[in-house]
Amino acid sequence: MNSFVHCIWGIYSTKNKLWGRLSKVDTDIRLYTLNPYSPKTMVYCYGTDNEKRMQDLGFPTTLIDPRPYVYDMEKHQYRHKMEAWKQAADELSSMTFLDWDTIALQPVPLDYWNVMDSGDRIQCPIYQYHKKRVDRKNDYRKVSTASFLYLRGDDIMPEMISTWEQMGMPLKEEYALTKYIDDQDGGWGGVEGYRRHDPIYYTMTPLYPDKDRSKQVFGHYNHNVISRLIGNGTGVKERIDKLCKQITGG
């Protein structure tokens, strides 16, 4: 069995940006429910209230913990994601995790799982930041991102979590994801060496200019873009179709 996967945690708070994440995610979830291209997904939940909200919206859920958060919200918040990945990888033959602000731009191909399952066991895009993010001699601004993550196999996550712990438990789960992939590849092999991890159905940055954009199903968008796509709740499909054509050149 395979599945798309989401995760939700936290409480409603205005304490700071990290604590206020749940309110921002609500907007993303609304677009997910309005978008006709959104695939069916399993939501892994922290907190019984969060689980009930997801169930009320029609999502199938798995409760990881009855508490709304388990890890320090300001130091280790994104560790919550990694536990969801681990549980999903334990339960599924393969899974694709989507951040809530990763949206489907067109229907998911019928052969999606066959294509993904025939590729590398871990697939996620890389993003180039403006400042140094990872400990490498070069390309230290390029980071494996968790906005879209395909995993196959229950042995990956225990090792990645161990990597995270060895790194001193950084806030961003993406730093552990990046180092884990580098380690598995015997070190950073440059953009071309990373290509086998780059998912065919997702594009984040133009690091692969020869990539076939017509196959881009998913994209990652900021809060302003998502708010514009939602509008008043009508015409969402038309706005997403227009965005897709702009990206793919269709």
DSSP string, 98-114: E-TTEEESSPPPTTHHH
At 75, which amino acid appears?
Answer: K
Domain definitions of the chain by residue range: 2-248
8 A C-beta contact, residue 57 and residue 112? no
8 A C-beta contact, residue 95 and residue 89? yes
pLDDT for 137 equals 86
- For the record, the structure tokens of 244 come out as 């897709």
pLDDT for 91 equals 96
Fold for domain 2-248?
Spore Coat Polysaccharide Biosynthesis Protein SpsA; Chain A (3.90.550)
8 A C-beta contact, residue 242 and residue 47? no
pLDDT for 199 equals 96
pLDDT for 142 equals 92
Determine the Cα–Cα distance for residues 117 and 21; give it in Å rounded to an integer: 32
Q: Full-prediction pTM beyond 0.85?
A: yes
- Mean pLDDT over the full length of the chain: 94
CA distances to 43, 85, 172, 193, 194 from 81, in Å: 11, 6, 10, 26, 23
Residue by residue, pLDDT tens for the chain (250 residues) are 999 999 999 999 988 888 988 999 999 999 999 999 999 999 999 999 999 999 999 999 999 999 999 999 999 999 999 999 999 999 999 999 999 999 999 999 999 999 999 999 999 999 888 888 888 988 999 999 999 999 999 999 999 999 999 999 999 999 999 999 999 999 999 999 999 999 999 987 778 888 888 899 999 999 999 999 999 999 999 999 999 999 888 7
Q: Give the distance, in angstroms, between the CA of residue 45 and the centroid of all CA atoms in the same chain.
A: 15
pLDDT in tens, 190-243: 999 999 999 999 987 778 888 888 899 999 999 999 999 999 999 999 999 999
pLDDT for 207 equals 83
pLDDT for 131 equals 86
pLDDT for 210 equals 86
